[in-house]
């Protein structure tokens, strides 16, 4: 394409983020086609002084001097300079290399006439020049980045420490400039092991300070891009940078700037190659990601010039979205919301449709949400941190993301305590108690629930206290303290009834019925469970219906009515599978498998139990996995497969060893 032409000049634009190697590629291309232009090549740097692109008139004067026009022969006016410039190039066509252009307007003044070709590098995606070919550069593939590091630092050093070499390349975001700087640092320090540089590059907050060697520096390239930004775009960049490397929804810019429809600012950042589109969200809206070095630089600027209001608004917008998505989830876990946390509602981004497919949205946004909880816990406001952590509980519960649940709640708990937010402290303690309960740490759970209950009582929240009391009842029940469990559940039921909390009432009735089952009181269990089932159906709470159905199935099993037991367990499994709840579904499968094994239907029983075991292991439920393994051992022993039975029994014993001390 870069060849002399009889018509308008051929124009190619190389665009990309700072440090991606635009100028290096342009110079390489210019060398490759130099024989096509016997009259030579003309190079112009369009960057100008810091913060201000070079003026076209000055650039034309520079070009004329390079073409042999000197002193007073250079015309005064920009129009006359442009005319002379084009006339000279028409007589001797050249390849014109315009490096670091600020935009199409700057380039247009420097376009020659027919016969020449133009190669432009720019951080902007210049598309307004008719016929121009746009080549967009991105980071190097990983293998090429490591190879480049080896060419500069030494291939033998890279081959001797391949893991550290790979880590250095990743820390450089695979950008050619950053890799070149890292390689130059290593080349200047032949005694350094690569792992030394790996350690120094591990901290993002100081990474740019490390990526400098002689006159090579990643930061300088980023500084120029930042200085050329309008004020709103610079503010948005500083607000987005601390949110991490995860793709961000389009409305994050709106919230950061506290105005709806900030697409113009987003476009500025995208056109400047500082922000790139990274797919679309579940609502069909674009998602964006900051280029890593841009994020490091903007993060440093945000730390020096923090904007806590912008962070609070971004957190408030995500809180609104998370609460709307959580409302569409099937689980009926207890929630403790924050009425006082700031909320910022994005407009025109389709959030009203979140409840249609909340699971997909949560899966897509999970990492960013966890990062945001930790960020607001660190920088404030604490109320936003714990409100967002609480809003994530229904999703974490449904998908058994216990590590993320605990991580967000621990961070938000520390923030609430530091801020003196007693209600937030109680809410986070209750959530942590639930995580401990799921991990079979019953004493730890009881301690968390007890502290949560005491604080809820102090702040005068009877519902919060009742929720914590339910947790105490569950912990007591799993520790086989049935009298204590019943006392707690009955106390909580009285509060739920007084408040008209039907979901709480359904849970408490089910819990009392389960306690009756464990003590062998089938008549009492029938009364409480049937009441809970009616209430769940009246509310249209299918998930609660599934949970109660499993208990009713267990009740019929104890009453020796296997057909009814299978029917209720089957209904529970049908509900959980329709709702996408694999964890509860695994317990329903386990119940069906046990019933089938008791009837001698060993093949379907084995299939059910194997499936439940696989789900429990995938979700990290040790007690559930141990129970399924035990049941499979008994099944194979009854079938005369003693070796297989021994294998499953050994697995059950091994799994139970992993349970906390004090597990019954």
Q: Give 379-392 pLDDT, tens digit per residue.
A: 989 999 999 999 99
Output the pLDDT for position 662. 46
Question: Token digits for 419?
Answer: 């801020």
| 278-299 b/e (C-beta count within 10 Å ≥ 16 → b) | eeebbbeebbbbbbbbbbbbbb
Q: How many domains does the chain have?
A: 4
Query: Is the Cβ–Cβ distance between 63 and 88 less than 8 Å?
Result: no
Q: How many whole angstroms separate alpha carbon 474 and alpha carbon 497?
A: 19
Task: Please name every residue paired with 290 in a beta bridge, in sequence order, or none if there are none.
Answer: 275
Say what the pLDDT of residue 90 is. Answer: 87
Kindly state whether residues 177 and 115 are assigned to the same domain: no
- The Cα 501–Cα 509 span in angstroms is 12
For residues 117 and 20, membership in a common domain is answered with yes
CATH of the domain at 446: 1.25.40.10
- Is the CB of residue 406 less than 8 Å from the CB of residue 432? yes
Q: State the number of CA atoms in the 13 A half-sphere of 125 facing the CB.
A: 13
For the segment 407-432, the average pLDDT, to the nearest whole number, is: 97
Contact criterion met (CB below 8 Å) for 51 and 17: no
Residues 550 and 586 occupy one common structural domain? yes
Q: Is cis: bond before 381, omega within 30 of 0?
A: yes
Residue that is last in its domain, among 99, 114, 136: 136
CA neighbor of 605 nearest in space, from 571, 633, 577, 572: 633
Where is the domain boundary, 206, 221, 236? Answer: 221
- The domain boundary, picked from 116, 136, 156, lies at 136
Instruction: Let me know whether 472 and 577 are in one domain.
Output: no
Which of 75-84, 507-516, 629-638 comes out lowest in average pLDDT?
75-84
Residues in the chain: 664
- Residue 23's nearest CA partner among 148, 124, 121 is 121
The residues, any chain, with a CB within 8 Å of residue 339's CB and separated by 6 or more, are none
| b/e per residue 446-461 (b: at least 16 CB within 10 A) | bbbbbbbbebbeeeeb
**Dist CA 329 CA 90 (whole Å):** 69
Do the domain assignments include residue 376?
Answer: no
CATH number of 41's domain? 3.40.50.300
pLDDT level of residue 2 (50, 70, 90 thresholds): low
For residues 482 and 81, give the distance between their C-alpha atoms in angstroms, rounded to a whole number. Answer: 95
In a domain, 394, yes or no: no
Q: Is there a single domain that holds both residue 652 and residue 638?
A: yes
- Structural domain including 580 reads 545-657
> CA–CA separation, 569 vs 448, rounded Å?
32
pLDDT for residue 51: 58
Q: How far apart are CA 539 and CA 544, in angstroms?
A: 10
Tokens of 539: 């509310």
Domain assignment present for residue 76? The answer is yes
For the entire predicted model, the pTM comes to 0.85
Distances (CA, A) of 580 to 312, 357, 463, 642: 33, 11, 29, 36
C-alpha separations of 541 from 324, 415, 529 in Å? 17, 34, 15
Residue from 512, 583, 520, 503 nearest 557 by CA: 520
**Segment 138-158 mean pLDDT:** 94
Confidence of residue 50 (pLDDT cuts 50, 70, 90): low
Which pLDDT tens digit goes with each residue over 555-582?
999 999 999 999 999 999 999 999 888 9
Q: Is residue 149 part of a domain?
A: yes
- Average pLDDT of every residue of the chain: 91
- Distance of alpha carbon 375 from alpha carbon 110, whole angstroms: 47
Mean pLDDT of 162-189: 94
Whole-number pLDDT of residue 42: 93
Do 125 and 151 sit in the same domain of this protein? no
d(CA 111, CA 574): 69
Q: How many C-beta neighbours within 10 Å does residue 91 have?
A: 10
Instruction: Specify if 519 maps to a domain.
Output: no
Task: Name the token pair of 236.
Answer: 């948005």
Same domain, 165 and 128: no
Residues 18 and 119 grouped into a single domain: yes
The three-point CA angle 277-212-153 to 5° equals 95
pLDDT interval class at 282 (50, 70, 90):
confident
Give the three-state DSSP class for 294. Answer: helix
């Amino acid at each position: 394409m870069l060849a002399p032409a009889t018509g308008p000049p051929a124009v190619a634009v190389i665009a990309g983020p700072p440090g991606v190697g635009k100028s290096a590629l342009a110079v390489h291309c210019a060398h490759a086609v130099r024989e096509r232009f016997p009259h030579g090549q003309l190079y112009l740097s369009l960057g100008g002084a810091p913060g201000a692109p070079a003026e076209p008139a000055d650039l034309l004067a520079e070009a004329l001097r390079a073409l042999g026009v000197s002193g007073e022969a250079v015309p005064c006016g920009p129009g006359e300079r442009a005319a002379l410039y084009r006339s000279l190039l028409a007589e001797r066509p050249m390849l014109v290399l315009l490096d670091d252009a600020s935009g199409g307007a700057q380039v247009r003044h420097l376009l020659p006439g027919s016969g020449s070709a133009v190669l432009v590098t720019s951080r902007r995606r210049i598309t307004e020049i008719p016929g121009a070919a746009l080549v967009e550069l991105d980071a190097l593939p990983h293998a090429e980045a490591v190879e480049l590091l080896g060419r500069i630092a030494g291939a033998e050093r890279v081959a001797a420490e391949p893991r550290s070499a790979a880590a250095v390349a990743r820390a450089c975001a695979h950008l050619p400039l950053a890799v070149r700087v890292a390689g130059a640092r290593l080349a200047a320090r032949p005694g350094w092991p690569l792992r030394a540089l790996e350690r120094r590059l591990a901290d993002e907050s100081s990474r740019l300070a490390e990526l400098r060697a002689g006159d090579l520096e990643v930061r300088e390239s980023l500084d120029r891009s930042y200085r050329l930004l309008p004020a709103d775009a610079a503010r948005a960049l500083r607000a987005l940078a601390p949110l991490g490397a995860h793709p961000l929804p389009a409305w994050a810019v709106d919230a950061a700037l506290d105005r709806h429809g900030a697409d113009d600012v987003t476009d500025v950042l995208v056109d400047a190659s500082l922000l790139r589109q990274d797919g679309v969200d579940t609502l069909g809206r674009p998602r964006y990601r900051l280029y890593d070095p841009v994020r490091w630089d903007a993060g440093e600027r945000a730390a020096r010039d923090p904007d806590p209001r912008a962070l609070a608004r971004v957190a408030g917008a995500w809180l609104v979205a998370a609460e709307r998505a959580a409302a569409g989830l099937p689980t009926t876990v207890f929630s403790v919301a924050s009425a006082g946390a700031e909320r910022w509602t994005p407009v025109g981004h389709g959030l009203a449709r979140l409840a249609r497919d909340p699971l997909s949205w949560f899966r897509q946004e999970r990492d960013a949400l966890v990062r945001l909880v930790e960020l607001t816990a660190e920088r404030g406001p604490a109320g936003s941190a714990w409100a967002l952590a609480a809003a994530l509980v229904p999703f974490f519960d449904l998908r058994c993301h216990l590590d993320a649940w605990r991580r967000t709640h621990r961070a938000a708990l520390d923030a609430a305590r530091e801020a003196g937010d007693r209600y937030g402290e109680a809410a986070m303690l209750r959530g942590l108690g639930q995580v401990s309960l799921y991990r079979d740490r019953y004493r730890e759970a009881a301690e968390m629930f007890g502290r949560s209950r005491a604080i809820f009582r102090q702040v005068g929240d009877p519902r919060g206290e009742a929720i914590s009391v339910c947790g105490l009842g569950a912990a007591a029940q799993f520790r086989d303290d049935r009298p204590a469990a019943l006392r707690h559940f009955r106390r909580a039921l009285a509060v739920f009834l007084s408040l008209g909390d039907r979901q709480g009432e359904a849970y408490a009735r089910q819990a009392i019925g389960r306690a009756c089952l464990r003590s062998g009181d089938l008549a009492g269990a029938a009364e409480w469970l049937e009441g809970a089932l009616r209430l769940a159906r009246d509310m249209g709470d299918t998930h609660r219906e599934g949970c109660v159905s499993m208990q009713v199935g267990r009740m019929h099993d104890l009453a020796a009515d296997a057909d009814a037991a299978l029917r209720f367990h089957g209904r529970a499994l049908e509900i959980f599978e329709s709702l996408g709840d694999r964890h509860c579904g695994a317990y329903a499968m386990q119940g069906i498998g046990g019933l089938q094994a008791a009837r001698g239907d060993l093949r379907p029983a084995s299939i059910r139990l194997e499936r439940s075991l696989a789900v429990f292991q995938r979700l990290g439920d040790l007690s559930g996995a141990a129970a399924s393994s035990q049941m499979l051992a008994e099944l194979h022993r009854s079938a005369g497969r003693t070796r297989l039975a021994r294998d499953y029994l050994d697995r059950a014993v091994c799994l139970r060893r992993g349970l906390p001390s004090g597990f019954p």
